[in-house]
Amino acid sequence: MKKHNFSSGPAILPQSVFEEASNACVDFAGMGLSILEISHRSPEYVAVYEEAISLIIELLQIPDDYEVLFLTGGASSQFFMSAMNLLEKNETAGYVDTGSWSAKAIKEAQNFGHINMLASSKEKNYTYIPKGYTIPSNLKYLHLTSNNTIFGTQYKEWPDTSVPIVCDMSSDIFSQELDIQRFGLIYAGAQKNLGPAGVTLVIIRKDILGKVERVIPTMLDYKTHIAKKSAFNTPPVFPIYVCMLTLRWLKAQGGIGVIKTKNAAKAKLLYDEIDRNSCFQGTTDKGDRSTMNATFVSTNADYDQAFLDLCNSTNISGVKGHRSVGGFRASMYNAMDIGSVEALVAVMKEFEDKL
Amino acid sequence: MKKHNFSSGPAILPQSVFEEASNACVDFAGMGLSILEISHRSPEYVAVYEEAISLIIELLQIPDDYEVLFLTGGASSQFFMSAMNLLEKNETAGYVDTGSWSAKAIKEAQNFGHINMLASSKEKNYTYIPKGYTIPSNLKYLHLTSNNTIFGTQYKEWPDTSVPIVCDMSSDIFSQELDIQRFGLIYAGAQKNLGPAGVTLVIIRKDILGKVERVIPTMLDYKTHIAKKSAFNTPPVFPIYVCMLTLRWLKAQGGIGVIKTKNAAKAKLLYDEIDRNSCFQGTTDKGDRSTMNATFVSTNADYDQAFLDLCNSTNISGVKGHRSVGGFRASMYNAMDIGSVEALVAVMKEFEDKL
C-alpha cells in the first residue's frame, strides 16, 4: 500500500512521474533502449534536456538575460561555487543566517572574500526570519536561504535592496511565483519540488559572471556550463529526465499559481490543527512558517514515540523531526495531495482523542 | 525490439538491472515508496550504499588502507580534485598524455602544481600507448588514463614505478583484475561498466591525503566524504542504487576474472573481423587495442554512411565513430553479450559480401 510520504527530501514526487520513469528504465521513447543506457549526445536525450529548460523558463517566467543550468554536487557545492565565481578576494558579500544551511554557505564563502553577516536568528534556534536589518548598497551580493527545511521557516517577502540576491531555494523553488529580476543567482538541489536526488538547478543572470580574477577550475566555472548547455561532461541523464517529467506534471496542474494555492491550503490545514490540538505546538514564529516543512513538537515528551508509532501504523511516513528541533516535521512539497495532509490531521486528532 | 547497444557511454547495462530499477521506481524494497522519493538517511538506502561499497571491495580486492567513495561531477571533476587534494604548489606530478581525457586532466592539474608531461602519443593522433619513458622517483604521483574511450587504446601493463599512480579508469574499471596497491587514487565516471550517468567512483589510499596546505572547499576535500561515507550532502540515490544492482550482477556472473575472459573473447571476435574484412581497418597499434572500445575506419570513404545505414537497419546502435577518429567505434562493455558482437560481425561480413 502506498504511503503518505512526508519526508523532507529526497521527497515525494507525482505518482505519474514514478510510473513514467519506471517505463523509461526498460524502453525509452520507443528507442528499444533503456533511458539508463542512452548517450547524452542522442537526439532523444537532448530533447529531454531542452524540454526541461523550456518548462523552467516558462513556469518561472525567466527573462532572456538569465541562463538555466542542470549541475551536480547539490546546494552544498553551490555554497562555494557561488562565492568562487562572484566574489573577489577584497569584496564583501552579505549573508543572513537562518539555519544550518545558511551557516554552511557562510563557512564556504569565507574562503573567497569578505563576509558581512547582516543578521542571524541563531540565538533563538532559528525560529524566525530576521527582518529590518540594514543592507549596505556596496555588497557584491546578498545571500539568503528562502526556506529552512530543518527549522520550518520561510521568507514571505524579500528584503528591499538593489543588491542582487543569491538564494538557496532548494526546498521551496516552484512552490510560488518569483520576481526573478530580484535575483542574481538562484540554486536548488532538485530533491524536493523538482526531481530526484542527483541534480542541482542553477538560474543565473549572465552579466554577473566573468568579473573575478582568480583561476576557476573548468568544471566550477558557470561559464563552462552555459557554453556547453550543461553537457560539458556527461550529465546525470536519468535525474534530469525525472525533473522534466515533474515539470510537465506541474504545468499540467496549472502551473505555479495553482500549486501555490494548493500549498497554502495544505499548510493552513496542518498549522490550524497544530494550533488547535492540545498535544502539539508549532516551533516557529507564525508569520514565518514554511508552507513546505511544518515543524512541531508534542506538549509532553511522553507523547513523542507514541505519536510516531501511531503514524507508522497508519501509513504516515517521514514525520520524525530533525535532531536540531526534535519532535516532528511534516514536509508537504508540491506533489503531496491534500488527502495526505488530511490523513495526518486525522491521526493527530485520533491521538488527542485517545488520551 | 531491443537494440544491440554499442554506445561509448552512457552505455549498456545488464537487462536484469533495467528491470529491477524499473520496479524500484514504483515500489522499492516493499516500502510502499518509490526509490526516487526515499530519504538518503533511511535504513533501506543505507543498506544499498553499504552493499555497493562491499561489492566493490570484494570484486576488486581492495585492501583496508583504501576508502571507496561515490561522488558526483564525473571524471571531469576528478581532474582538478585529484591535483587540488594531492599536489602542493611547489611539487611535481607526472602525467602521460594518451588522449583527450588525459589532456583535460593535465590542463586542470596545472593550476595546482608543476606538471611533468612524461610522454604523449598526440603526434600520432593517440594511436598508441607510450612506453619506455623515464619516471622520476620524486614525483608526487603519476597520472594515467587506463583506457582511452575516444581513441580505442588501453594499457596492457602498468609502468614500473614506486610512484603512486593516480588513474582515470572511467571506461575500463571492473573489466579486469587490478593490483590496487599500485594505485594511490583511482577514479571513474560510472556510466560504462558500473552504472548510469550521475555518479563517480573514487578509490583512494588514505595515507596520501591531508598533505597539502591550501584551503579546500568542504565538498572538494576527499576527507569530507570519507568521514561522512559519501553522504555529507544528499547523494545521487538512484544512480548509486543502479550501480549496486550492476555490481550484484557482476558478482553473479562470477566476478572480474570471468568477465575479463568474456571481454577478451568479445574483443578478439571483433578485432579478428576488422583485420580480416577488406572493407575495414583498425586505427590503433595492435598491442594497445582496447577491449572496451574498438575503433576502426572503412577502407573507402564511400562505405561510411552505407555501413552506418546497414547497422541502423539491423538493430545495431551507437557505432558511429567519435569525430576525433572518424569511422566507427564499437564499445563492448561488461554488460554486452557476445551475441551482440556476433551480430555486428555478421553485419560487417554482409557489408563486404554485398559489394
CATH of the domain at A296: 3.90.1150.10
**Do residues A332 and A263 make contact, with C-beta atoms less than 8 angstroms apart?**
yes
Clarify whether residues B236 and B261 are in a common domain: no
Which pLDDT score, from 0 to 100, does residue A355 have? 86
In a domain, A5, yes or no: no
Nearest-neighbour CA in chain B from A156: distance (Å) = 26
What count of residues does chain A have?
355
Question: Could you give the percent of chain B with pLDDT greater than 90?
Answer: 99
The domain total for chain A is 2
Please tell me the predicted confidence (pLDDT) of residue A265.
98
**Cβ-defined contact of B21 to A36 (cutoff 8 Å):** yes
Q: What does the CA dihedral A136, A138, A139, A142 come to, rounded to 10 degrees?
A: 60
The set of cell numbers assigned to A213 is 580574477
Contact B38 A10 (CB under 8 A): yes
Mutate to test the interface with A, among B238, B314, B336, B337 (most CBs of A within 10 A): B238
Residue B10 lies in a domain: no
CA distance, residue B41 to nearest chain A CA (Å): 9
Residue recorded with cell 561498466? B193
Q: What pLDDT sits at residue B355?
A: 86
pLDDT in tens, B1-33: 789 999 999 999 999 999 999 999 999 999 999
Cα→Cα distances B34→B27, B242, B244, Å:
5, 14, 17
**Can you give the CATH number for the domain in which B34 is found?**
3.40.640.10
Q: What is the pLDDT, as a whole number, of residue A196?
A: 98
Q: Which of B256, B323, B334 is nearest to A37 (CA)?
A: B334
Verify whether residue B272 is a known catalytic residue. Answer: no
Tens of pLDDT, residue by residue, chain A (355 residues): 789 999 999 999 999 999 999 999 999 999 999 999 999 999 999 999 999 999 999 999 999 999 999 999 999 999 999 999 999 999 999 999 999 999 999 999 999 999 999 999 999 999 999 999 999 999 999 999 999 999 999 999 999 999 999 999 999 999 999 999 999 999 999 999 999 999 999 999 999 999 999 999 999 999 999 999 999 999 999 999 999 999 999 999 999 999 999 999 999 999 999 999 999 999 999 999 999 999 999 999 999 999 999 999 999 999 999 999 999 999 999 999 999 999 999 999 999 999 8
Specify whether A49 is located in the same domain as A102: yes
Position B319 confidence tier, pLDDT thresholds 50, 70, 90: very high
Contacting residues of B for A242, CB less than 8 Å apart: 36
Task: Give pLDDT, residue B167.
Answer: 98
CA distance A241 to chain B (A): 12
ipTM of the prediction:
0.98
Residue whose cell numbers read 556596496: A138
| Same domain as B273, residue B148 | no
Mean pLDDT, rounded, of chain B: 97
Q: Are residues B83 and B225 in the same domain?
A: yes
Q: Same structural domain for residues A236 and A169?
A: yes
Let me know whether A201 and A54 are in one domain.
yes
Same-domain status, A247 and A304: no
What residues of A are annotated to the active site? Answer: 101, 168, 192
* Cα Rg of chain B (Å, integer): 21
Residue B4 lies in a domain: no
Each residue of B136-181: pLDDT tens digit?
999 999 999 999 999 999 999 999 999 999 999 999 999 999 999 9
Both B190 and B325 in one domain: the answer is no
pLDDT confidence of residue B67: 98
* pLDDT score of A252: 98
Domain assignment of residue A271, given as a range: 255-354
Comparing CA positions, the residue from B243, B237, B240 lying closest to residue B34 is B237
> Which chain A residues have a beta carbon less than 8 Å from that of B14?
none
pLDDT of residue B219: 98
Residue A10 preceded by cis peptide, ω within 30: yes
Which of B197, B219, B253 represents a domain boundary (last residue)? B253
pLDDT, tens digit (0-9, with 9 covering 90-100), for B75-134 = 999 999 999 999 999 999 999 999 999 999 999 999 999 999 999 999 999 999 999 999
Contact flag B234-A197 (C-beta cutoff 8 Å): yes
Q: Report the C-alpha gap between A239 and A199 in whole angstroms.
A: 6
Residue where one domain finishes, among candidates B232, B253, B274 = B253
Interface test with B, best of A15, A36, A202 (most B CBs within 10 A): A36
Q: Which one of B3, B4, B12, B34 would you mutate to disrupt binding with A, by most A Cβ within 10 Å of its Cβ? A: B34
**What does the block give as the cell for A199?**
541534480
Closest-CA distance, B160 to chain A, in angstroms, reads: 31
What is residue B321's DSSP assignment? P
Residues 6+ apart with CB under 8 A from B26: A18, A19, A22, B34
**Cβ <8 Å between B238 and A196:** yes
CA distance A74 to A338: 29
Of A253, A277, A310, the domain-final residue: A253
For B69, phi and psi rounded to 5 degrees? Answer: -125, 150
CB atoms within 10 A of CB B236: 32
| Secondary structure element (H or E) that encloses residue B221, with its range | none
